[in-house]
Structure 1
Amino acid sequence: MTQLDRRTALISGLGAAALPLVAHAAPSDPLSGDALYANVKGYSLLGEHRTGTSGDAAGTGWLMTSLEARGFKAERQGFDYPVFELGACGIALGGQALEAFPYWTPTATPAGGVTAPLSLAGGAGKIALVDLPPGTGAGLDAPPPAQIIAAVDNGSAAVIAVTENPLGELLAMNRNPKAPAWRCPVLLAAGRDLGALKAAAQAGAPVTVRLEGQVRPHQAQNVIGRRVRPGKPVVISTPKSGWRHCAGERGSGIAIWLGLAAALAKRDDLNLIFVCSSGHEFDGYGAHLFTETLAPKPAETRLWVAIGANVAVYDHALRDGTVTRLPGPPKARTIGASAPLTAMTAQAFAGQPGYETPLDLDAHDAPGELATFRKLGYRPLIGLVAASPLHHSAKDLPEVTGPAVLEPVAKALHRTILGALT
C-alpha cells in the first residue's frame, strides 16, 4: 500500500453523541437473530459508507456509542483521506438512461457530460467500451484492469467499463489507496447493459457520459473499543467502510462484531480490543494504519478474530429476470483458523455450508484483511469471509440478510472464540 503518514493518525477518546435512529443498548441476548438484524438495519440507515463520507462518519458515532453501552472505552483513530463528492453520474444511450458509477479516482466531466461515438477500440475523440472479467475489483491489493489502463492511455475521451455479474448488476470496484485521478472520466456500467452498449459501439453510435463532482479533503476514522483486563488482549476486527450501503458485505459482520462485544464482555476476565476500520475499499487502508500504530504486537496478542465480507447473507439468483433471494447462503463461504483450532472450529460450525470445513491458516493464505493479519504473524488467528452476487452493488441492502442466517454464524463464532480461549 502507499506509505501511511503517521502524523495524520489522530486519537480521540471522546464518545460520540447518540444517534436517534438506532438503539445502542445491548439486548438481553446480543447474538439473537433479531438483535443482530436490528443492527444491520441501523447500519444501513446511516447512508452510503464509502471512506470519509458522511455515512462513514455517522457510522463512527454510532459504533462508539454502541461500544460504550457495552462497557468499552471507545476511541477514534483518524486519518486524512480525500473524498470525491459525487454529484451526477450516468450514461445516456439512444434516449435511454443507464446506471453508472465512477471507478476511482474519478476525473469529472464538464457539466452536462461528454458526448462522443462509442468504440470498442477507443482513441481520440471516442468513448471506449471495455468488458471486464467477472470478479474484477472485488478484492484487495490488485492493480487496475489492464483494459481500462489501455483505453485511458490511447487518448479516449472517456471509458465505460462493464462489470460482469451473474445477476447483471453494476458492481463498484476497489482501488489502490489515494490513487491519482484518471486522465479521463472512467465509469462502470451494469452487465445487463452490455448488449446495448456493445451494439452501439459496433455501430459507432453517440453516447453521453456524465460524471460530476469534486475531490475535497476529509478525515475518516477507525473505531477502537477497549475493555482492559490483565493479560494479553483478544482482538476482534471488522471493516466499517465500503461501497454503497453494503448492508450484507459490511453490515452482517458489524452486527456480529457488536453482538460479540456484548457477549464477550460478560466474561470479566477477558482483555478485549474491538476495532472497526475505515478505508477497506482502498486496500484496507485503515486496518493497515491500526496494525502499524495501535495494535498489540503479535507476541502480545492472545487471539485475533477477523470478520470479513458477507459473512451471513443469503444467496441470490435471477428468476424470470428478477433478482430473487434464495433460501440459503452462498456456496462460497470460507472460515480459516490456525492449525490447533481447525477441529474445534469445524465442530462449532457443523452443518453450516462452507464454514464446516475450516481452512488451515498455518498452511494456506487467506483473502481480504485476514491475509494482512496472517502475514503480520498473528497467531492464533480465526477469520471468515464469503462471496455474494450482490457484493458492491446498489442492491446490497438489509434484505440480503436476516435473523435466520445471522444467528447461526454469530453463535458458532462465539463458541469458537470461547473454545480458543480455554
Structure 2
Amino acid sequence: MTSIDDRISRHIREYDGQGWHRTGTTVDLESAHWLAGLVEEVGVEPVLESFTLDRVVPGESYIEVSGRRIDGLPLFDGGFTGAEGVHGQMGRHDAKIMLVEGSPILAAEALDDARRSGNYRALVFVTNSIGSVPGLAPRNAPDFTEPFGPPVLQVNGVEHESLVEQADAGASVRVVVQAERRPGEAVNVAAEIQGQDRDLPPLVVMTPRSGWWEIAAERGGGIACWLKPCG
C-alpha cells in the first residue's frame, strides 16, 4: 500500500476501535478530540463546536409473543411506553398493534402513515437493509426534535417469518418500548484552510461522524475524504 493508503487504513481502524459512535456519548466526544488531533498533526488548527441536545437513551424494549421475548430498539422520534408496555392483538392491517415490514427507506411511507393515523396503540417494525439482508437496520429520526405517534419497536429482520405468522394469526402480544430523553452535549469538528483565490466563495466539505454502533463501514470513507484537504 502507498503511504496514503496506510494513513487511510489506520484512521478507519482507529475509528472502528473506538466503540459505538452514538451522538452525545462519551465515545462520540472522544472521537471528536481524536479527529481534532489528526487535523493538528498536519498543521491545521481545528475548532470544536459544541451543541446541546436531548439524547434518547434506550431502556428495555421488546415484544412478548407466544411465550417468546424478542428484543428490539425504540424508534427515536416516536412515543415510548412504561415498563408494563402495551397489550393487544397484533396484525398487519386492522389490529391495534400493527406489524410493519421492510427497509427503513422503502417502508418509510407505510410506517409514517401508520404513525400519523391514530389507529394503533403500538407498531412493530421488522427491519431489513436494502436488498432484504436480515439484521436490525434502525431508521434515522428525521422528527427527532418533534417526536410523534405511538411507540414503535424496531426488530431484527431474522424474526420476519415468525412475526408475520403471529400477526396473520392475530396473536396477543405485549410491546414494551422504554427510553428516556436526557440533556446532553455533542461536538462538531471544523477546520478552515485558505485557498489560492480568496475572492471566491468558500467550498464546504462536511461528513457525518456519529451514527449507529461502530459504523466504520459507513463513516470511515467520509472521514478519510474530509481529512484529505487538510494535508
TM-score by length of 1: 0.48
Q: Which residue, 156, 180, 204 being the options, matches 1:214?
A: 180
Residue deviations 1:383-411 (CA, integer Å, cap 9, x gap): xxxxxxxxxxxxxxxxxxxxxxxxxxxxx
Q: Which residue does the alignment assign to 2:224?
A: 255
Secondary structure at the aligned position of 2:50 is classed as strand
Contact 2:54 2:181 in 1 (8 A): yes
Q: Which residue does the alignment assign to 2:99?
A: 129
Change (3 A) 1:250 1:122: farther
Instruction: Confirm or deny that 1:50 pairs with 2:14.
Output: no
| Alignment of structure 1 residues 12-411 onto 2, 5 Å | 29=3, 31-32=4-5, 34-123=6-95, 126-132=96-102, 135-136=105-106, 145-151=109-115, 153-165=117-129, 166-228=132-194, 231-232=197-198, 235-258=204-227, 260-261=228-229, 265=231
- 5+ unaligned residues in a row in structure 2: which ranges? none
Instruction: Indicate the structure with greater strand content.
Output: 2
1:47 CA displacement: 2.7
Contact 1:152 1:159 in 2 (8 A): no
Change (3 A) 1:106 1:42: farther
Change (3 A) 1:122 1:244: farther
Change (3 A) 1:177 1:158: closer
Secondary structure at the aligned position of 1:239 is classed as coil
The amino acid of 2:134's aligned partner reads: G
TM-score by length of 2: 0.82
Q: CA RMSD in A?
A: 2.7
1:118 CA displacement: 1.2
1:152 CA displacement: 5.2
1:229 CA displacement: 6.1
- 5+ unaligned residues in a row in structure 1: which ranges? 1-27, 138-143, 266-422
Secondary structure at the aligned position of 2:192 is classed as strand
Q: Counterparts of 1:115 and 1:100 in 2: how far apart (Å)?
A: 16
Q: Bigger relative contact order, structure 1 or 2, given CA contacts below 8 A and separation 6+?
A: 2
1:230 CA displacement: 5.3
Q: Aligned residues, how many?
A: 225
1:71 CA displacement: 1.1
